[in-house]
Amino acid sequence: MMTKQNLIDYTLHLADNALIIGHRNSEWCGHGPILEQDIAISNIALDYIGQARNFYQYAAQLQGNAATEDSLAYLRDVVDFKNCLLVELPNGDWGQTILRQFFFSTYQYFFFQQLQNSLDEQLAAIAEKALKEVTYHVRWSSEWAIRLGDGTEESKQRMLLAVDELWSYTGEMFQEAGYERLAVSEGYGIDLTSIKNSWDAKIKSVFEEATLSLPTVAWMQSGGKEGQHSEHLGFVLGEMQFLQRANPGAEW
């Protein structure tokens, strides 16, 4: 029983990450700086909604009790959400959105690469499917990070601001939450320390090409994975969940 709850929490964490960053990216739809990129970011948002659905459906199945992908996404409150703080931050400008995408996709890339081999077959299958998408997300976001970092003086300044804004939220991805520690010992979770070096190396090489310097600040924000969020998530959920909450039990 204990084990099952942990697998549920672990799965929900992955679902929440995907849903919230997908939601944030979808805010760009119709407002992108270039039509082709509007399409690209909406497409990435769609990939995330798809990933979220896969994880929620699995969590709902594990949970039973008439749980569904929608009850999990729409009827849990801020304290129940287990996403990293990074994904719930407002989009900022295009540079900040790109940089967040690059940080997060790179993390997901190495994470899913390992999760493909999880002892839990469902998680492994979802990871395998998601990895194809994430591989493209890494390519797209790193190309844009380079373009903007090494573009004009203004774009470089904006990227430096974005780095400043986001860097302290990158540490949480590698800080183990309780359910992650347990997931590792139970054999289906990923040891985050094992992917941290790969993440560092990838960030370093792209930053070099983007002519951006890596920050030296050491302090990292955390809490999201354990349900302690920024003020932003409440607004995201307020907007996202209102129809479900205003019409209990309705079909859509």
Q: Does 232 bind other proteins (CB under 8 A)?
A: no
Q: Which of 67, 131, 150, 175 binds other proteins (CB under 8 A)?
A: 150
CB atoms within 10 A of CB 17: 28
Closest listed residue to residue 20, CA positions, set 40, 49, 47, 42: 49
Q: Which of 92, 151, 215, 223 binds other proteins (CB under 8 A)?
A: 151
CB atoms within 10 A of CB 87: 26
Q: Which of 79, 201, 214, 243 binds other proteins (CB under 8 A)?
A: 243
Please state the closest distance from residue 167 (CB atom) to other proteins, in A.
21
Closest listed residue to residue 101, CA positions, set 12, 1, 187, 24: 24
In order, the DSSP letters of 53-118 are HHHHHHHHHHH-TT--HHHHHHS--GGG----HHHHS---SHHHHHHHHHHHHHHHHHHHHHHTT-
Q: Which of 91, 168, 198, 244 binds other proteins (CB under 8 A)?
A: 244
Q: Which of 45, 123, 166, 182 binds other proteins (CB under 8 A)?
A: 45
* Choice between 52 and 173, CB closer to other proteins: 52
For residue 146, give both structure tokens: 């380079």
Q: Does 160 bind other proteins (CB under 8 A)?
A: no
Q: Does 164 bind other proteins (CB under 8 A)?
A: no
Q: Does 200 bind other proteins (CB under 8 A)?
A: no
Please state the closest distance from residue 43 (CB atom) to other proteins, in A.
7
Q: Which of 158, 202, 225, 229 binds other proteins (CB under 8 A)?
A: 158
Which residues neighbour 212 within 8 Å (Cβ) at sequence distance 6 or greater? 145, 149, 156, 159, 160, 163
Burial label for 238, CB within 10 Å (0-12, 13-18, 19+), is exposed
Token pair 């492994």 is at which residue? Answer: 124
For residue 42, give both structure tokens: 């909406």
* Total residues at interface with other proteins (CB under 8 A): 49
Q: Does 139 bind other proteins (CB under 8 A)?
A: no
Q: Does 53 bind other proteins (CB under 8 A)?
A: yes
Please state the closest distance from residue 116 (CB atom) to other proteins, in A.
24
* Choice between 44 and 177, CB closer to other proteins: 44
* Choice between 66 and 250, CB closer to other proteins: 250
The answer to whether 141 touches 233, Cβ cutoff 8 Å, is no
Q: Does 75 bind other proteins (CB under 8 A)?
A: no
> What is the contact surface with other proteins in residues (CB under 8 A)?
19, 23, 26-27, 29-39, 42-43, 45-46, 49-50, 52-53, 56, 69-70, 73-74, 93-95, 146-148, 150-152, 154-155, 158, 239-240, 242-244, 247, 250-252
